Amino acid sequence: MIGVFDSGIGGLSVLAAIARALPRADLLYFADTAHVPYGNKDDAAIRARALRIGRYLAEQGCRQIVVACNTATAAAVAALRESLPRIGVIGVVPGIKPAAAASKSGRIAVLTTVSTARSERLARLIRQHAGALRVDILPCPDWATKVETLQLDDPDFAGTARRLLEPVLAAGADHVVLGCTHYAFLVPVLQPIVAGRAALVDVAEAVARQCRRLAGEDGETAGQGRLTLSATASPERLRRALTLLGLESLAARLSGPAILADV
Ligand code: DGL
C-alpha cells in the first residue's frame, strides 16, 4: 500500500496523478486537517506532525509514503527517511528545475507557503537548478486555507492573485511554479491571469512517475486499486471534497467511508 499525506486536501492533486499511474495499487490518503495549514507553522512543529503521521502510515502497512506537501517535505523529509529506513519516502519539491529548463526569458516565479518560501531546501533547489535565472519567490499566506475551505470562485481572491502576479509577469517571468500542492486547485483562477504570458508548472505527474518507478512491478500488481481516506478532523469533508473538486475517479476507488484518525 502507498500512503500519501498532506496537511489537508492539497495532496489530493498528487493522489489523483498517482492513482492514474498505478491503477491497481492500494492507496491510503491522510489529511492532517486538525493541524492545517502547515505553511504558517515552524519547522519543529511540522516535523513532529510528519513523523507521527509517517509512523501511523507505516503501522497501517504502507511500504511507500508520499509527502504530498511541499511545506512538510522541506521541513521533514530527511527526518522521515531517517526514522523509517525500510519505507520508500518520496517528497514533493516545487518544479524549479523544469521551469528553469523551459524558461526563455530567464525569469521565473514560484508561489509557495510562507514556510516553504523561507526554507533552505527551496534556496538550495534554486541554487542547483536556476542559478543563472532570476527567481521571484512569492509567499502566499492564506491561499492553502482558501482551497481548504473550497472558496475557489471568490472574486476577491482572483484580484489578490492578479495583484501578486502582475508585477513579475510584467517583468517577463514566463513560468509560474505552483510550489504548494493546494494551488493545483487554483489553476482555474490562475490560468486566465497568466494566459499568453507564462506557463503554470505543477509536479504531480512527475511525482506519480517516481512513485511508479519505486513501486515497480509489485506495487502495480499487489493491490486491488482501493482507496482509503483518513483525516484528523472532519473526515466527511475530505470525502465531499472529492466530488466538489471533480475527482470522481478517486471516489470510484473508495473502499468505505472516510475515517477519523486519532494521530
Ligand atoms: N499543501 C501544502 C504544500 O504543498 C501545505 C499547505 C499548508 O498547509 O499550508 O505546501
Domain CATH code at residue 76? 3.40.50.1860
**Is 180 known to be catalytic?**
yes
Q: Examine the fold and report which residue of 184, 201, 218 is the final residue of a domain before the chain moves on.
A: 201
Q: Are residues 159 and 197 in the same domain?
A: yes
Q: Which of the four pLDDT bands, split at 50, 70 and 90, describes residue 126?
A: very high
pTM for the structure as a whole: 0.96
Identify the active-site residue in 62, 69, 140, 211.
69
Separation of alpha carbons 36 and 240, rounded Å: 17
User: Which of 153, 183, 201 is a domain's end point?
Assistant: 201
For 32-81, the pLDDT digits (tens) are 999 999 999 999 999 999 999 999 999 999 999 999 999 999 999 999 99
Same domain, 39 and 64: yes
197 plus 103 within the same structural domain? yes
Distance 116 CA to ligand 1 centre (A): 9
Q: What is the DSSP letter of 233?
A: S
172 with 139, same domain: the answer is yes
Category of 219 on φ-ψ map: left (φ > 0), alpha (ψ -120 to 50) or beta: alpha
Cell numbers given for 12: 489530493
| Co-location of 101 and 195 in the same domain | yes
The best mutation among 12, 14, 15, 38 to test binding of ligand 1, ranked by most ligand atoms within 8 Å of the C-beta, falls on 38
Question: For residues 150 and 140, what is the distance between their CA atoms, to the nearest angstrom?
Answer: 16
> Could you give the percent of the chain with pLDDT greater than 70?
98
Joined grid coordinates for residue 135: 527567481
pLDDT at 217: 60
Domain boundary pick from 154, 182, 201: 201
Task: Write the burial class of residue 14 (CB in 10 Å: 0-12 exposed, 13-18 middle, 19+ buried).
Answer: buried
- SS3 at position 109: strand
- Cβ–ligand 1 distance for 113 under 6 Å, the answer yes
Q: How many residues does the chain have?
A: 263
Q: Quote the DSSP letter at residue 39.
A: T
pLDDT for residue 218 is more than 70: no
Is residue 62 part of the annotated active site? The answer reads: no
Asked whether residue 76 falls in the same domain as residue 6, the answer is yes
- Whether 252 and 157 map to the same domain: the answer is no
Give the model's pLDDT for residue 252.
97
The sign one gets for the Cα dihedral 207, 209, 215, 220 is: positive
Helix (H, G, I), strand (E, B) or coil at 136: strand
Rounded to the nearest angstrom, the distance between the alpha carbon of 120 and the centre of ligand 1 is: 16
Statement to judge: residues 195 and 109 lie in one domain = yes
Query: Does one domain contain both 65 and 52?
Result: yes
Cβ of 38 below 6 Å from ligand 1:
yes
60 Cα–ligand 1 center, Å: 23
In this prediction, residue 78 carries a pLDDT of: 97
**Pocket probe mutation, ligand 1, options 4, 5, 7, 178, max atoms within 8 Å of Cβ:** 7
Identify whether residues 197 and 101 lie together within a single domain: yes
Assess whether pLDDT exceeds 90 at residue 87.
yes
**Are 13 and 80 within one domain?**
yes
- Per residue in 134-184, pLDDT (tens digit) is 999 999 999 999 999 998 888 899 999 999 999 999 999 999 999 999 999
Query: Is the pLDDT at 221 greater than 80, yes or no?
Result: no
Average pLDDT over residues 116-124: 96
Same domain, 102 and 190: yes
Instruction: Kindly state if the Cβ of 6 falls inside 6 Å of ligand 1.
Output: yes
**Residue with the nearest Cα to atom 2 of ligand 1?**
69
Give the pLDDT confidence score for residue 220 in this predicted structure. Answer: 56
Query: How many domains are contained in the chain?
Result: 2
Q: Which domain covers residue 41, as residue numbers? A: 2-92+204-260
Q: How far apart are CA 99 and CA 194, in angstroms?
A: 14
